[in-house]
Structure 1
Amino acid sequence: MTVTPPMDLGSWISRRAAATPTLPAITFGGSTLTYRDLAGRVDRFAAELAAGGIGAGDRVGYVGLNHPDFLVTLFATARLGGIFVPLNNRLTAAELEFILADAGVHTLVADAEHTAAVDPVRANAGVRRAIALTPVEGWESLEDLITAREPLAEPVFPGADEVAVIMYTSGTTGRPKGAMLTHGNLFWNNVGSMLAFDPSQDDVTLVCAPLFHIGGLNVTTLITLQKGGHVVLMPGFDPSGVLRLIPEHRVTTMFGVPAMFLFMTQVPDSRPPTSPACGT
């Protein structure tokens, strides 16, 4: 009898950590998480989310700049069969309120810079729990919660057709619409991307596009993590910072739109990146 391993998003990091626990997974602000570190953090936060009422089908939102805990929240939610809802951190309070209510977000995770935008609307939007990456008055502290928890003992393994992520459109022609992406959508997209891009454990991808956009999340970030490569994460796009980090980390891949690469060429004394395969 052939047993098919689960393809759900929540299983990706645990399997990768079992295979390559000591390889670097995510570098951010000078600190690096190995795959063992990342898997442990994911399962501790999953246990905390479960204790707070998150189960299959429940929505967990995130609003903030790029941060490793965006990805931790994504994978932790999936470990419970929940649905992750990334929010555009450039939206107004009223726009955030619409998406939070429309998606039915139960628990919201935010960085300190964006809690103030959410505070006036989170009750009306139906948000039941608010967690901040760093201490903020009126919000629970993510670090305190994770530190106090043991890792999740019994993860859930959603089927390929179950929704993993609701990614909202920009709303330029009306209200934003939630595109429902299943675990199978994400898995098979990665398979196609791996065949096209041929990533490996030796790859280092620089992620500076916003993770709340499908391009920032899905073009190089998820496939690199699934293959055991190294994600160098920036809070946002900064052309000078990109040009500094590429040689520093020997970056091999990066997703960007044409305007980003144009801005990089306009940095004084900039030189074209010398790393192979660095582009869209």
Structure 2
Amino acid sequence: MVFRSPYPDVVVPDVSLHELLFADLGDRSDRVALVDGGTGASLTYSQLAGAVDRMAAALAARGIGKGDVVGILSPNTPYYAVVFHGVLRAGATATTINALYTADEVAHQLADAGAKMLFTVSALLPNAAPGAARAGVSDVVLLDGAEGYPSLGELLAGDHPVPVVEIDPAEDVAVLPYSSGTTGRAKGVMLTHRNLVANIVQCGPILEVRDASRILAVLPFFHIYGMQVAMNNGLHVGATVVTMPRFDLPEFLRVIQEHRTNLVYIAPPVALALAKHPVVDQYDLSGIDTIFSGAAPLDVDLAAAVSKRLGCRVSQGYGMTEMSPVSHAIPDNRDDISVGTVGVILPSMECRLVDPATGEDVGVGERGELWCRGPNVMKGYLNNPEATAATLDADGWLHTGDVAVIDEGGLVTIVDRVKELIKYKGYQVPPAELEAVLLTHPGIADAAVVGVRDAEGEEVPKAFVVLQPGASLDGAGVMAFVASQVAPHKKVRVVEFIEAIPKSSAGKILRKDLRARETAS
């Protein structure tokens, strides 16, 4: 059974991402496009468009053009957008690199992507420089400056001609972010100009971002969520995007207060801090209209706690890097939809739910792996036809690896991961369900659940728990709390207290790290 969006299909313009965002600035020219939340330094739309052109010209002068790949390793700043869009304007592909990567990880991505050049900042040189060297990338430019390296300012000061580049939106790869997909080592996700343009247009009817919006961009631009939903969606409508280089709770709250950001994109760990940390009460957050969560499931009770405390709307969506990234979201004009769901299917998308065991489609109210198809779905994984074939089938369906349910109203709920379901005595135990229960305990600050083997070799749920400061709770108490709220086969049977739950920059629990702790012990 194929499920479709309740919204009519959208028309996807046959243009490059640069054309979509900058071809006609209209009355946006003098409006502020980007602001550094820390320093207040800003770029208007006309200044941004001009800098992007100069960036493209400088790249062309250095021999960078269509078919080339340029790495970007930097925290969020207004000039991240200049470099990113300058690379695309030159006809090249941007591979965005996690700012927390080690030198080996930087080297792997640069080499795997075939990058010819790297943009970074001085603070990241201890990993960037050796990483680039190991990958054979000698052209390293700094967004700020350091002795022995050319700076972005020097490149932008040049007077080279802006290159004339012919882009095939459907075929030419615009960005190459890296994702583990449904499983395995990070792979280069080939997203074309059309993929990115399509998803921006698809989000339009659902996420009502306006030119008057002030968007807080603390989610990293190297991640598809920050790149597309915060940066590119904001620039498309003429909003003001306020950047932060990293998440620090007091600074995060100060920036919201000072810049009166009304639209704040987060991942669930930030929601946890907003709901429970006492420092939140010291700031005026009345400017917030909507907090939008993505990248990992947001518990409904946690969302309600944030909404009540801050007096704002809390919403969420769902997607993957491989879908540029949004496939589902709660529409901004639907206050009747619970955050327990991820909302509706985006326009111009189709979805199926498929039983992982039988391969047969399931219907309304039944659990199945979520498959998605649409113009925002990736071209494939770079140089990895096997991984591409395992995720993207011949009919264009992307197999997400997530288990979902669709109700009669077309609302989609993600209930777990295909690969993360714990099988206890033949019964399926969804870790996300147990994590949601654990987070309702007032003494628990954060939690994660994975499957481990007991003495008999049976897979059982193990909870990793972070306590609130001053909380008095032992493993027996944790297990009893969960047991009082779930079916017997879902009970937590092992508990370990840790200082922090390992998570990716996008907020996803790094279950493989938790399993590695178990193996090491």
TM-score, length basis structure 2: 0.50
Aligned partners of 1:267 and 1:167: how far apart in 2?
36
Larger radius of gyration: 2
What displacement does 1:271 show? 5.6
Report if the CA contact (8 A) 1:133-1:143 is conserved: yes
* Separation of aligned partners in 1, 2:47 and 2:158: 16
Q: Write the letter of the residue equivalent to 2:25.
A: A
Give 2:98's match in structure 1, choosing from 88, 91, 95. Answer: 88
SS at match of 1:7: coil
1:26 maps to what in 2? 34
Q: Secondary structure at the match of 1:220?
A: helix
Give the C-alpha shift of residue 214 in structure 1. 1.2
Does residue 263 (structure 1) correspond to residue 273 (structure 2)? The answer is yes
Q: Secondary structure of 2:155's partner?
A: helix
**Amino acid across the alignment from 2:267:** V
For the residues of structure 2 that align with 1:151 and 1:34, how far apart are their CA atoms?
Answer: 22
Distance (Å, rounded) in 2 between the aligned partners of 1:59 and 1:210: 20
Secondary structure in 2 matching 1:122: helix
Partner of 1:159: 169
In the other structure, the counterpart of 1:127 is: 137
Query: Is it true that 1:278 corresponds to 2:284 in the alignment?
Result: no
Deviation for aligned residue 1:55: 0.8
Higher strand share: 2
Gaps of at least 5 residues in structure 2 are: 1-11, 294-521
Equivalences for residues 180-191 of structure 1 within 5 A: 180-191=190-201
Corresponding residue to 2:249 among 223, 239, 251: 239
TM-superposed CA distance for 1:180, in Å, is 0.8
In the other structure, the counterpart of 1:9 is 17
Residue 105 of structure 1, CA deviation: 0.6
Q: CA deviation at 1:273?
A: 3.4
Amino acid corresponding to residue 243 of structure 1 in structure 2: L
Matched with 2:477 is none
Pairing 1:207–2:217 present? yes
Q: Which SS does the other structure have where 2:291 is aligned?
A: coil
Distance 1:158 1:79, change over 3 A: farther
- CA gap of 1:63–1:218, structure 2 versus 1, over 3 A, is same
Aligned partner of 1:53 among 40, 58, 63 = 63
Gaps of 5+ in 1: none
Query: What is the distance in 1 between the residues matched to 2:53 and 2:128?
Result: 26
Instruction: Provide the secondary structure at the position in 1 that maps to 2:145.
Output: coil
Match of 1:168 in 2: 178
Q: Residues of 2 paired with 1:192 and 1:172: CA distance?
A: 24
1:250-279 deviation per Cα after TM superposition (whole angstroms, max 9, x unaligned)? 212111111112223414234683321233
Aligned to 1:97: 107
**Aligned partners of 1:21 and 1:48: how far apart in 2?**
23
Distance 1:120 1:172 in 2: 30
For 2:218 and 2:19, the matched residues in 1 are separated by 25
Report the alpha carbon displacement of residue 63 of structure 1 after superposing the two structures with TM: 0.5
- Quick check: 1:36 aligned with 2:46? yes
User: In structure 2, do the counterparts of structure 1 residues 171 and 185 end up closer, same or farther at CA, with 3 Å as the change threshold?
Assistant: closer
Q: Residue 245 of structure 1 aligns to a residue in which SS? A: helix
Q: 1:161 to 1:49 in 2, by over 3 A?
A: same
SS at match of 1:60: strand
CA-to-aligned-CA distance 1:135-154 (integer Å, 9 cap, x gap): 21332111112112356253
TM-superposed deviation, 1:47: 0.4
The answer (yes or no) to whether the contact 2:32–2:43 under 8 Å persists in 1 is: yes
Q: CA, structure 1 residues 172+101, in 2 after alignment: closer, same or farther (shift >3 Å)?
A: farther
Counterparts of 1:238 and 1:190 in 2: how far apart (Å)?
Answer: 28
The alignment's C-alpha RMSD in Å is 2.2
Tell me if 1:227 matches 2:237. yes
User: Deviation at 1:209?
Assistant: 1.1
Code of the aligned partner of 1:261: A
2-side partners of 1:181 and 1:258: how far apart? 26
Would you tell me which structure has more helix in proportion to its own residues? 1
- For the residues of structure 2 that align with 1:172 and 1:195, how far apart are their CA atoms? 28
TM-score (structure 1 length as normaliser) = 0.91
Q: In the alignment, is the contact (CA less than 8 A) between 2:16 and 2:193 conserved in 1?
A: yes
Separation of aligned partners in 1, 2:182 and 2:203: 28
What's the secondary structure of 2:57's corresponding residue? Answer: helix
Q: Relative to structure 1, is the Cα distance of residues 128 and 6 closer, same or farther in structure 2, using a 3 angstrom cutoff?
A: farther
Tell whether the 8 Å contact from 2:257 to 2:283 is kept in structure 1 after alignment.
no
CA distance in 2, matches of 1:151, 1:38: 17
Q: Kindly indicate whether the alpha-carbon contact (under 8 Å) linking 2:42 and 2:78 is maintained by their aligned counterparts in 1.
A: no
Letter in 2 for 1:277: T
Whether the 8 Å CA contact 2:95–2:113 is kept in 1: the answer is: yes
Q: Which amino acid aligns with 2:116?
A: H
Residues 59 and 107 in structure 1, CA contact (< 8 A), matched pair in contact too? yes
- Quote how far apart the aligned CAs of 1:155 are: 4.6
Task: Give distance in 1, aligned partners of 2:135 and 2:212.
Answer: 44
Q: What percentage of aligned pairs have identical amino acids?
A: 35
Residue 5 to residue 189, structure 1, CA distance change in 2 (3 Å): closer
